[in-house]
Amino acid sequence: MDFAFSEKTQNYIQRLEAFMHNFVLPAEGVYASQLQHTSDWRKWKQPPVMEELKAKARAAGLWNLFLAGSQHGAGLTNLEYAPLAEITGRSPIAPEVFNCNAPDTGNMEVLVKYGSEAQKERWLKPLLAGEIRSAFCMTEPEVASSDATNIQATALLEGNEVVLTGRKWWSSGIGHPHCRVVIFMGVTLPSAEKHQRHSMVLVPVDTPGVRIERMVSAFGMYDEPFGHGEVTFSNVRVPADHIIAGPGRGFEIAQGRLGPGRIHHCMRTLGAGERALELLCQRALNRVAFGKPLAELGGNRDIIANARIAIEQARLLTLKAAWMMDTVGAKGAMSEISQIKVVAPSVAQTILDQAIQIYGGAGVSPDFPLAEMFGCIRSLRLADGPDEVHRALIAKLEIKKHKQVATLEHA
């Protein structure tokens, strides 16, 4: 394993860091002031500063850096993209600036990998250009959706149409004023084997029967202008060619989609952890209590040291997972992807919690990004599969190795 950054990566790191420093971090306050802070998503607007930043990033060649191994992206491997995603994770607004934000990245990956030429032309092109946004509608309030085979919404074929019925929630991004399309998962072949029942269907959001019921807040935050919608689909009809890759392939696509998406989240999460540690240290050095800087009080030095150790460990595991995705593919890297999906948010959550503590009351206020970042990172321990589901997979793969050995020994 060689994790040394290539010349290309170093060049991107330099440019990206300069862009973050010069444009993105200074724009955070402007962005926040341009948001409509209301639960009524119909009033949400794209903050104008975001479009300005996007145009600058695109002109600077800092665009679509994800999409490893595809001619549509910047031509980087997962290992090369890892440090770049980490840099963008330092700011909640950065991923969209570079057109590298969830859920659009995952949806673009689905279209690149499984989409027909017509689907790519209609949806991938404007997504890659950052002209539209999208959502991914899999999770349902009525069933334990961490087990994707439970998904019970239907996508039934009728002649040359597919008819969608069901209730989804946590559809991230559906409140965005630029959201034009969703990927819907539903049962098409109820009597098929349970991993071959579901289909993924592209649905324009203005199709009759698609209704956003409400935006669901997480820890009281709406994450505007993206939002997390509860959406009903009532007798929604779209042409059958809107099914991605054909009926019954939904589960397979969901697995394919979540591999790269999960590791991107982890890379960005490390950036959030780094920023939290940086903010923690600044406060600990500059604020005095009981005659000493906070850094010198109680166990605060240990907290700082442990945070550094945990970030370094998590980064190495992220890089290993990225390297394995590049060398043996997402399937061969399943255990490592799940390992880092458990580790990275938990490391960042602990550091954010400690940073909030060091900041005292200011830590939970909107004056610093810590509280918002904490909410996002905590949610990430559920989104894209709860920790327990990843642990179950890691254990299954681990036990399988030993079962194979036991079988050989008894042969």
Ligand X SMILES: Cc1cc2nc3c(=O)[nH]c(=O)nc-3n(C[C@H](O)[C@H](O)[C@H](O)COP(=O)(O)OP(=O)(O)OC[C@H]3O[C@@H](n4cnc5c(N)ncnc54)[C@H](O)[C@@H]3O)c2cc1C
Residue numbers of the site for ligand X (CB under 6 A)? 103, 136-139, 144-146, 170-172, 218, 228, 379, 382-386, 388-389, 392
Between 138 and 337, name the residue whose CB sits nearer to ligand X: 138
Six token digits for residue 116: 């027909």
Shortest distance, position 95 Cβ to ligand X, whole Å: 14
Between 20 and 340, name the residue whose CB sits nearer to ligand X: 340
Shortest distance, position 384 Cβ to ligand X, whole Å: 6
Shortest distance, position 396 Cβ to ligand X, whole Å: 10
Buried b (16+ CB within 10 A) or exposed e, 287-326: eeeeeeebbeeeebeebbeebeebbeebbebbbbbbbbbb
Six token digits for residue 316: 């190495």
Between 121 and 213, name the residue whose CB sits nearer to ligand X: 213
Instruction: State the first-to-last Cα distance of the chain, in angstroms, to the nearest integer.
Output: 34
The residue with tokens 């306050």 is 29
Contacts of 203 (CB under 8 A, 6+ apart): 137, 164, 181, 182, 183, 184, 210, 233, 236, 238, 242
Q: How far is CA 281 from CA 70, 75, 284, in A?
A: 40, 36, 5
Between 83 and 369, name the residue whose CB sits nearer to ligand X: 369
Shortest distance, position 136 Cβ to ligand X, whole Å: 4
CA separation for the pair 59, 54 (Å, rounded): 9
CA separation for the pair 403, 181 (Å, rounded): 45
Shortest distance, position 324 Cβ to ligand X, whole Å: 23
Between 336 and 384, name the residue whose CB sits nearer to ligand X: 384
Between 204 and 386, name the residue whose CB sits nearer to ligand X: 386
Length of the chain, in residues: 411
Shortest distance, position 230 Cβ to ligand X, whole Å: 11
